[in-house]
Amino acid sequence: MPPIAYLECSRCHARLSAETPQTVCTSCSDQPAGSLFVHYDFSHLKGTRPEDIVGKAAATLPWTGMWRYRDVLPDAEPVTLGEGWTPMLPSRRYPGAWLKEEGANPTGTFKARGLALAVTMARHYGLRKLAVPSAGNAAGALAAYAAAAGIEAHTFMPLDVPSANYVEAVAYGAHVELIDGLISDCARIVAERRQQEGWFDISTLKEPFRVEGKKTMGYELVEQLGWEYPDAVFYPTGGGVGLIGMWKAFEELELLGWVKPGKRPKMIAVQSTGCAPVVRAYDEGSRTSKMWQNAATFASGLRVPKPYGDAIVLDIVRSSGGVALALSDEDILASILDWARNEGLLLSPEGASVTAAYDKLLSTGFLKPTDRVVLFNTGAGLKYTDVIAAAMNLRRPRAEASTV
Ligand X SMILES: Cc1ncc(COP(=O)(O)O)c(C=O)c1O
Which one of ligand X, Zn ion, none interacts with residue 9, CB within 5 to 8 A by kind? Answer: Zn ion
Report what 137 binds from ligand X, Zn ion, none; CB cut-off 5-8 Å by kind: ligand X
Q: Is 327 in the site for ligand X (CB under 6 A)?
A: no
Q: Is 316 in the site for ligand X (CB under 6 A)?
A: no
**Residue 59 backbone phi and psi in degrees, to 5:** -80, -25
Contact between residue 299 and residue 332 where contact means Cβ atoms under 8 Å apart: yes
25 binds, among ligand X, Zn ion, none (CB under 5 to 8 A by kind): Zn ion
28 binds, among ligand X, Zn ion, none (CB under 5 to 8 A by kind): Zn ion
With CA atoms as reference, report the closest residue to 302 among 178, 135, 83. 135
Say whether 194 sits in a helix, a strand or coil: helix
**30 to 59, contacts with ligand X by CB under 6 A?**
none
240 is an interface residue for ligand X by CB under 6 A: yes
Cβ distance to ligand X smaller for residue 253 or 269: 269
Distance CA 166, CA 85 (A): 26
138 interacts with ligand X by CB under 6 A: yes
Give the Cα separation of 337 and 164 in Å (integer): 20
Stretch that binds ligand X, among 55-63, 65-73, 230-238, 283-291 (CB under 6 A): 230-238
Strand partners, 257: none
Phi first, then psi: give them for residue 325, nearest 5 degrees. -145, 155
Does residue 309 bind ligand X (CB under 6 A)?
no
Among 4, 7, 18, 25, binds Zn ion (CB under 5 A): 25
Q: Where are the beta strands (DSSP E) in 148-260?
A: 152-158, 175-179, 200-201, 232-236
Question: Could you say which DSSP state residue 380 is in?
Answer: B
Q: Which of 34, 50, 158, 238 is close enough to bind Zn ion by CB under 5 A?
A: 34
* Separation CA 29–CA 33 (nearest Å): 8
Minimum CB distance to ligand X, residue 357 (Å): 13
242 binds ligand X (CB under 6 A): yes
Among 116, 135, 202, 233, binds ligand X (CB under 6 A): 135
Q: Is 239 in the site for ligand X (CB under 6 A)?
A: yes
The span of 155-163, 238-246, 252-260, 274-282 binding ligand X (CB under 6 A) equals: 238-246
From 34, 96, 106, 379, residue interacting with ligand X (rule: CB under 6 A): 379
Residue 26 or 364: which CB sits closer to Zn ion? 26
Q: Are 36 and 208 in contact (CB under 8 A)?
A: yes
From the list Zn ion, ligand X, none, which binds 174 (C-beta under 5 to 8 Å, kind-based)? Answer: none
Nearest approach, Cβ of residue 368 and ligand X (Å): 26
- Cα 248 to Cα 80, 154, 162, 180, distances in angstroms: 22, 29, 31, 35
3-state SS, one letter per residue, for 25-62: CCCCCCCCCCCEEEEECCHHHCCCCHHHHHHHHHHHCC
The item of Zn ion, ligand X, none sharing an interface with residue 11, based on CB under 5 to 8 Å by kind, is: Zn ion
Please give the C-alpha separations between residue 240 and each of 104, 164, 317, in angstroms, as whole numbers: 20, 22, 11
Residue 28 binds Zn ion, judged by CB under 5 A:
yes
State how far the Cα of 90 lies from the Cα of 379, in Å rounded to an integer. Answer: 17
188 SS3 class:
helix
Residue 34 interaction partner, one of Zn ion, ligand X, none, beta carbon < 5-8 Å per kind: Zn ion
- Which of 236, 277, 322, 381 is the binder for ligand X (CB under 6 A)? 236
> Residue 2 has what DSSP assignment?
P
Q: Which does 204 bind (CB under 5 to 8 A by kind): Zn ion, ligand X, none?
A: ligand X
Query: Where on the chain is the footprint of Zn ion (CB under 5 A)?
Result: 9, 11-12, 14, 25, 27-28, 34
Query: Where on the chain is the footprint of ligand X (CB under 6 A)?
Result: 109, 111, 135, 137-138, 204, 236-242, 301, 348, 350, 378-379
